[in-house]
Amino acid sequence: MMRPPPPERTQKTGRARFGGERAAVLVPRRHLSGPVPWVIAIMIALVVIAAAGGLALGNLAKTARGELSGAVTVQIIEANSALREEQAVIAAQLLAQDPAVESLRTVPQAELDELLEPWLGTAEAGNPVPIPALIDVQLRRAASEAEIARLQSLLKRGAPAARVDAQSHWLQPVYSALSAMQYLALTMIALLLLTSVAAVWLAARSSFANHRDTVEIVHLLGGTDKQIARIFQRSVAIDAMLGGIVGLALGAAASWLIARQFSGLESGMVSAGSLAPVDWFVIALIPLLGVGIAMLTARITVTSALRRML
């Protein structure tokens, strides 16, 4: 007992990082026993739902814009039905000769009657309201204001009762609403991430306080701030990973169910808002982002607490 071991300086020969399991034992924990993984799971689930909603709205707006950018409606607003039909034929001929027009279709009267039946009743019921003739036009380029003015001028001589409108103009309020909802989704994601940061900050502080004595010992034995912060980072990363997987599963399932409900509406506009594979890939990255933010938060929290020690 009185003879000390040989005087070799073993600490100078090592190159093994003080991390992983051998450092983690200093801060013992039981996975999923604390609130942090569950808080992160809920946050990630909500972020996934918000992100899925935002991406779907983005897809919807993009598709609608693409489809309607060159779409133009020509109305022949003439009370006299004979004149109306005559001008509709002339307008269709003029438009068909225009190089900017890709295709056009004169909407049949029967289709118009059917379209307006819920509001105006059937023609047999003696509907006295004159219905404008409609021509759907698809341009080769976007229906800009200058293009609309040019077409209006083109039709002026042959069909003076013609009125040209870009379809996208009618949907401008819808685009604005979609845009507002996308910003709302982004704001929700930012707020949820901030809440997650706050939760991790509190958890890291609490864990640091609980293990302060151990931290002080490691510190006094020559442990660096990085080494100590890594222990807590690892613990938080495992919590965040578990929470992230559960949250992703919950959020993806909820998004899929909502998408299924909407697809049941069989509306062309709504189905345009479905998620593409690349969107699901982005959604799958959310837990990784969560883990990264949680680790960074833990590192900053612990490092700033350590700085208060010598």
Partner 1 sequence: MNDGPGNIVTFDNVGLRYGTDPEVLSDLSFNLFSGRFYFLTGASGAGKTSLLKLLYLAQRPSRGAIRMFGKDVITTPRDELPHFRRRLGVVFQNFRLVDHLSAFDNVALPLRVAGVREAELMRPVAEMLDWVGLTHRAHALPATLSGGEQQRVAIARAVIGRPDLLVADEPTGNVDPDMALKLLRLFEALNRLGTTVVVATHDAHLLQNVSDCLIMRLDKGRLHDPTGALRYPPRTDYKRTATQQAGDKT
Site residues (CB under 8 A) for partner 1, limited to 220-259:
220-225, 227
Q: Please, which residues have CB within 8 angstroms of residue 36's CB and are 6 or more apart in sequence?
A: 199, 200, 203, 236, 239, 240, 243
Q: Whole-number minimum distance, CB 304 to partner 1, in Å?
A: 12
**3-class secondary structure per residue, 226-260:** HHHHHHHHHHHHHHHHHHHHHHHHHHHHHHHHHHH
3-state DSSP call for residue 106?
Answer: strand
x/- letters, 27..46, toward partner 1 (CB under 8 A): -x------------------
Instruction: Please state, in angstroms and as integers, the Cα–Cα distance from residue 191 to each residue in 170, 195, 228, 270, following that order.
Output: 33, 6, 30, 27
Instruction: Identify whether the C-beta of residue 123 lies closer than 8 Å to the C-beta of residue 163.
Output: no
Q: Would you count residue 308 as binding partner 1 (CB under 8 A)?
A: no
Q: Whole-number minimum distance, CB 240 to partner 1, in Å?
A: 23
Residues in the chain: 310
In angstroms, the CA 89 to CA 187 distance is: 51
Comparing CB distances to partner 1, the nearer of 223 and 244 is 223
Q: Please, which residues have CB within 8 angstroms of residue 201's CB and are 6 or more apart in sequence?
A: 297, 301
In angstroms, the CA 121 to CA 123 distance is: 7
Q: Whole-number minimum distance, CB 8 to partner 1, in Å?
A: 7
Site residues (CB under 8 A) for partner 1, limited to 182-221:
213-214, 216-221
Considering only 22, 31, 105, 141, the residue that binds partner 1 (CB under 8 A) is 22
Q: Would you count residue 18 as binding partner 1 (CB under 8 A)?
A: yes
Q: Would you count residue 8 as binding partner 1 (CB under 8 A)?
A: yes
Q: Whole-number minimum distance, CB 1 to partner 1, in Å?
A: 5
Piece of 16-24, 173-181, 234-242, 289-297 that binds partner 1 (CB under 8 A): 16-24
Q: Would you count residue 129 as binding partner 1 (CB under 8 A)?
A: no
Q: Would you count residue 16 as binding partner 1 (CB under 8 A)?
A: yes
What is the widest separation between alpha-carbon atoms in the chain?
A: 122
Give the other-Cβ count within 10 Å of 250's Cβ: 17
Q: Would you count residue 303 as binding partner 1 (CB under 8 A)?
A: no
Q: Would you count residue 2 as binding partner 1 (CB under 8 A)?
A: yes
| Beta pairing partners, 136 | 73, 105
Q: Would you count residue 14 as binding partner 1 (CB under 8 A)?
A: yes
Q: Would you count residue 10 as binding partner 1 (CB under 8 A)?
A: yes
Q: What are phi and psi of 227, to 5 degrees?
A: -60, -45
Comparing CB distances to partner 1, the nearer of 24 and 89 is 24
Q: Would you count residue 4 as binding partner 1 (CB under 8 A)?
A: yes
Comparing CB distances to partner 1, the nearer of 260 and 307 is 307
Q: Whole-number minimum distance, CB 273 to partner 1, in Å?
A: 52
Which parts of this chain interact with partner 1 (CB under 8 A)?
1-18, 22-23, 25-26, 28, 213-214, 216-225, 227, 307, 310
